[in-house]
């Protein structure tokens, strides 16, 4: 779709640079500064103009992209709408709510699309933060601090006049405002506001509007947010464009409400009583480009439903800015016109696990998060406390927890799942495993119901045989972690008089039938098998009624087990890789460091990415917070087939623990 760019300054070049990746083309450029118009037009092989009316009557482009100076936006938009053009405008839509409302009405009456920057609710870090909210983790948000430190425009902008004229609110302030309105809906009142004229004495060019503004905003849906917008606070300010939201159950921090790119530590969450933990991205995400918003608007035009949604929000944001100025001048509270703006639906968890029809029925299998967290206490021959690391993992955003009665800490996981700041139950995939001393039907039922009670949940998302072979039962395994180590081992590794393991005469076929009874009673949504070979899996598939949804096996580069992985995938069975990192010497393999260098990944991260690239869910365990976060973030990387082959070639057929 053809566009006419009006305004050919620095921001216009940013918009133009993204054109190639869109279906849009630049049909003309208009700027009152002919030299600028000519330069941008020349780069894009399009005609140029210095007069808007002439440009509109000469160029038949359906969309006008308004990239003029702040104060000129409204007039240019009005002229373009009057010429029946769809308009995408740089922020702000206008400098007063009344004018913004008129533009909105004009677009509505003519059935034209009207959009306004910023598009920051679509930014990758902003969407990641929105998902923390969607997950219900901070609980009801009552308080927020938003900063928009535009900095000394006379230092960093080659043409600061337009900024100095309008002040920091209508430029930087609209970033947090747009995001907050998208998340929480309209601002009801500006409770109080105040302004300062702070500016360095030595500086000749001074803002004509106040250089610093503080306001308390009450959102209709509940939160009260203190907004600071400043030209005086410089870019190096630690707060910059930071946003901190405090809820009943936890706090959310977003570093950069206006950021268009993403970084691992942009989003942090801290539940009540704990420090902030980084919430890394878990799937590949790319930066947003300025032109993306114009493309989205053009798509609504092409679909015959020209959108005015961002303009409605933009009009409300302008009304908030006006109300802040009013409250600063005349005292608050000042009621704000809402323009019918509503909060946007919060984005779906792109890692939200789901189970279809209770069992794996198609080739893709059940949806699982790309990476899970191992909750075993066992570590190099010792037992370690895992409560803190599991809490960190949940705060970082792990949504698959690998538990087992053998690990003896289900009650700890249960405490964390029910504590304030925990994700909603539906957002977490709880995988449980019955130990091999409990393969008889009555023992398995007792084990499953006991584990569920400890976890505080009604049903597992998957309940699996920990091992296919049965051992003798010596008693229930509830809260193993609280028993002396010798007692734990006597119960879990039953020995006969000769000191050998005492097995039990329960076939895999029978154990699976007993597991199916757990499923039939609604105690688990799916079933799984751990540590099975392909022939054992074939037995389950041939003799069972409920198909396994998950197979959990030891898998790492020394033992890739690609044949078994393919066998499972061909049958819609998801593979979970246990012990992905702990094979002795693995993390020192030079090939992992070499591949990791290009992606800025540690060797552990490369092993995790190697699993994700094969659609296998690794469940690394860690007690080091930085590892917990970086392991989860590794899920955003996909390795090339060549890199996967290089790692596969570490395979060691003689590998044994």
Ligand X SMILES: NC(=O)c1ccc[n+]([C@@H]2O[C@H](COP(=O)([O-])OP(=O)(O)OC[C@H]3O[C@@H](n4cnc5c(N)ncnc54)[C@H](OP(=O)(O)O)[C@@H]3O)[C@@H](O)[C@H]2O)c1
* Segment interacting with ligand X, rule: CB under 6 A, options 61-69, 148-156, 473-481, 619-627: 619-627
Q: Taking CB under 6 A as the criterion, which residues in 503-532 touch ligand X?
A: 530-531
Which listed residue (619, 639, 644, 647) binds ligand X by CB under 6 A? 619
Q: Taking CB under 6 A as the criterion, which residues in 388-427 touch ligand X?
A: 402
State the virtual CA torsion across 80, 82, 85, 86 in degrees, nearest 10.
90
Which listed residue (526, 559, 630, 636) binds ligand X by CB under 6 A? 630
DSSP letter for each residue of 57-70:
HH---SEEEE-S-G
- Distance (Å, rounded) from C-alpha 639 to C-alpha 602? 14
Burial 36-52, CB ≥16 within 10 A → b, else e: bbbebbeeeebbbbeeb
CA 21 to chain centroid, in Å, comes to 24
* Segment interacting with ligand X, rule: CB under 6 A, options 291-299, 536-544, 558-566, 576-584: 576-584
- Beta partners for 214? 194, 228
Which listed residue (46, 99, 126, 631) binds ligand X by CB under 6 A? 631
Token pair in block for residue 71: 């104060």
492 binds ligand X (CB under 6 A): no
CB of 420 to ligand X, least distance (A): 26
CB of 623 to ligand X, least distance (A): 4
Which listed residue (604, 632, 644, 650) binds ligand X by CB under 6 A? 604
627 binds ligand X (CB under 6 A): yes
Which listed residue (534, 624, 640, 649) binds ligand X by CB under 6 A? 624
Token pair in block for residue 128: 């990641």
- Distance (Å, rounded) from C-alpha 426 to C-alpha 420? 15
Taking the least distance from each CB to ligand X, the nearer of 142 and 623 is: 623
Taking the least distance from each CB to ligand X, the nearer of 190 and 577 is: 577
Dihedral sign computed on CA atoms, order 637, 296, 36, 58: positive
Query: What is the 8-class DSSP label of residue 576?
Result: E
622 binds ligand X (CB under 6 A): yes
Q: Taking CB under 6 A as the criterion, which residues in 174-193 touch ligand X?
A: none
Which residues are known catalytic residues?
Answer: 407
CB of 614 to ligand X, least distance (A): 17
CB of 360 to ligand X, least distance (A): 19
587 binds ligand X (CB under 6 A): yes
Taking the least distance from each CB to ligand X, the nearer of 365 and 620 is: 620
- Distance (Å, rounded) from C-alpha 295 to C-alpha 122? 13
Taking the least distance from each CB to ligand X, the nearer of 252 and 371 is: 371
Taking the least distance from each CB to ligand X, the nearer of 197 and 388 is: 388
* Segment interacting with ligand X, rule: CB under 6 A, options 43-51, 153-161, 297-305, 625-633: 625-633
Half-sphere exposure of 84 (CA within 13 A, CB side): 4
Which listed residue (602, 617, 629, 643) binds ligand X by CB under 6 A? 602
Contact 77, 59 (CB under 8 A): no
Other C-beta atoms closer than 10 Å to the C-beta of 559 total 18
* Segment interacting with ligand X, rule: CB under 6 A, options 36-44, 57-65, 327-335, 580-588: 580-588
Pick the closest to residue 630 from 575, 587, 578 (CA basis): 587
* Segment interacting with ligand X, rule: CB under 6 A, options 70-78, 241-249, 566-574, 575-583: 575-583
582 binds ligand X (CB under 6 A): yes
- Distance (Å, rounded) from C-alpha 501 to C-alpha 471? 8
* Segment interacting with ligand X, rule: CB under 6 A, options 193-201, 210-218, 482-490, 627-635: 627-635
Q: Taking CB under 6 A as the criterion, which residues in 446-485 touch ligand X?
A: 466
CB of 283 to ligand X, least distance (A): 19
Taking the least distance from each CB to ligand X, the nearer of 8 and 629 is: 629
81 binds ligand X (CB under 6 A): no
SS (H, E, C) 381-427: CEECCCHHHHHHHHHHCCCEEECCHHHCCHHHHHHHHHCCCCCCHHH
Dihedral sign computed on CA atoms, order 17, 18, 23, 27: negative
- Distance (Å, rounded) from C-alpha 296 to C-alpha 314? 16
Contact 461, 355 (CB under 8 A): yes
The residues, any chain, with a CB within 8 Å of residue 412's CB and separated by 6 or more, are 386, 387, 390, 481
Taking the least distance from each CB to ligand X, the nearer of 91 and 556 is: 556
Which listed residue (99, 251, 322, 376) binds ligand X by CB under 6 A? 376
- Distance (Å, rounded) from C-alpha 99 to C-alpha 78? 10
Which listed residue (328, 375, 416, 573) binds ligand X by CB under 6 A? 375
- On the 0-12 / 13-18 / 19+ scale of CB atoms within 10 A, 130 is buried
579 binds ligand X (CB under 6 A): yes
552 binds ligand X (CB under 6 A): yes
581 binds ligand X (CB under 6 A): yes
Residue nearest to ligand X (CB): 374
Which residues make up the interface to ligand X (CB under 6 A)?
374-376, 402, 466, 530-531, 552, 578-582, 587, 602, 604, 619-624, 627, 630-631
């Amino acid at each position: 779709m053809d566009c006419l760019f009006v305004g050919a300054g620095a921001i216009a070049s940013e918009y133009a640079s993204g054109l190639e990746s869109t279906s849009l083309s630049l049909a003309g450029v208009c700027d009152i500064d002919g030299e600028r118009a000519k330069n941008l037009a020349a780069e894009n092989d399009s005609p140029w103009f210095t007069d808007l009316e002439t440009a509109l009557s000469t160029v038949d482009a359906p969309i006008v992209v308004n990239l003029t100076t702040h104060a000129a936006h409204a007039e240019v938009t009005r002229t373009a709408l009057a010429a029946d053009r769809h308009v995408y405008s740089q922020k702000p839509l206008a400098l007063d709510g009344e004018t913004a409302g008129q533009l909105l009405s004009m677009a509505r009456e003519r059935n034209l699309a009207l959009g306004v920057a910023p598009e920051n609710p679509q930014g990758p870090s902003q969407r990641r933060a929105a998902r923390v909210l969607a997950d219900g983790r901070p609980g009801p948000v009552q308080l927020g601090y938003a900063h928009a430190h535009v900095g000394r425009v006379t230092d960093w902008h080659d043409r600061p006049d337009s900024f100095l004229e309008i002040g920091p609110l209508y430029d930087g302030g609209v970033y947090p405002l747009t995001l907050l309105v998208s998340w929480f809906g309209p601002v009801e009142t500006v409770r109080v506001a105040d302004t300062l004229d702070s500016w360095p004495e030595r500086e000749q060019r001074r803002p004509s509007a106040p250089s610093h503004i503080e306001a308390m905003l009450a959102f209709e849906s509940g939160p009260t947010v203190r907004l600071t917008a400043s030209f005086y606070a410089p870019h190096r300010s630690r707060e910059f464009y930071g946003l901190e939201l405090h809820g009943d159950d936890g706090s959310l921090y977003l570093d950069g409400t206006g950021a268009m790119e993403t970084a691992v530590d942009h989003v942090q969450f801290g539940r009540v009583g704990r420090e902030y933990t980084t919430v890394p991205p878990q799937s590949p995400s790319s930066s947003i480009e300025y032109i993306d918003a114009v493309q989205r608007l053009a798509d609504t035009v092409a679909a015959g439903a020209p959108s005015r949604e961002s303009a409605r929000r933009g009009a409300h944001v302008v009304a908030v800015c006006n109300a802040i100025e009013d409250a600063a001048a005349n005292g608050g509270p000042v009621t704000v016109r809402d323009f019918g703006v509503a909060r946007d639906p919060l984005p779906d968890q792109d890692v939200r696990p789901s189970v279809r029809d209770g069992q794996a029925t198609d080739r893709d299998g059940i949806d699982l998060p790309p990476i899970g967290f191992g909750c075993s206490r066992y570590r190099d021959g010792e037992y370690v406390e895992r409560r803190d690391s599991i809490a960190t993992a949940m705060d970082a955003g792990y949504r698959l927890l690998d538990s087992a009665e053998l690990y003896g800490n289900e009650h700890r996981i249960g405490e964390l799942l029910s504590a304030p700041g925990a994700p909603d139950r539906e957002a977490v995939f709880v995988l449980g495993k019955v130990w091999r001393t409990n393969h008889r039907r009555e023992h398995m039922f007792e084990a499953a119901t006991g584990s569920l009670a400890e976890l505080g949940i009604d049903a597992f998302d998957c309940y699996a045989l920990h091992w296919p072979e049965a051992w003798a039962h010596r008693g229930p395994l509830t809260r193993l972690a609280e028993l002396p180590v010798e007692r734990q081992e006597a119960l879990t590794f039953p020995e006969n008089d000769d000191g050998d393991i005492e097995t039990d005469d329960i076939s895999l076929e029978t154990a699976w039938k007993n597991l199916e009874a757990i499923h039939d009673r609604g105690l688990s949504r799916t079933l799984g098998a751990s540590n099975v070979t392909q022939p054992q899996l074939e037995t389950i598939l041939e003799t069972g009624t409920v198909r396994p949804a998950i197979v959990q096996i030891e898998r790492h580069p020394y033992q890739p087990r690609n044949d078994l992985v393919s066998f499972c995938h061909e049958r819609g069975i998801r593979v979970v890789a246990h012990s992905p990192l702990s094979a002795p010497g693995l993390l020192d393999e030079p090939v992992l460091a070499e591949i990791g260098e290009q992606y800025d990944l540690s060797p552990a991260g490369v092993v995790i990415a190697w699993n994700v690239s094969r659609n296998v869910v690794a469940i690394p365990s860690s007690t080091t917070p930085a590892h917990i976060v970086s392991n989860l973030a590794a899920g955003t990387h996909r390795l090339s087939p060549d890199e996967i082959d290089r790692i596969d070639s570490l395979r060691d057929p003689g590998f044994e623990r």
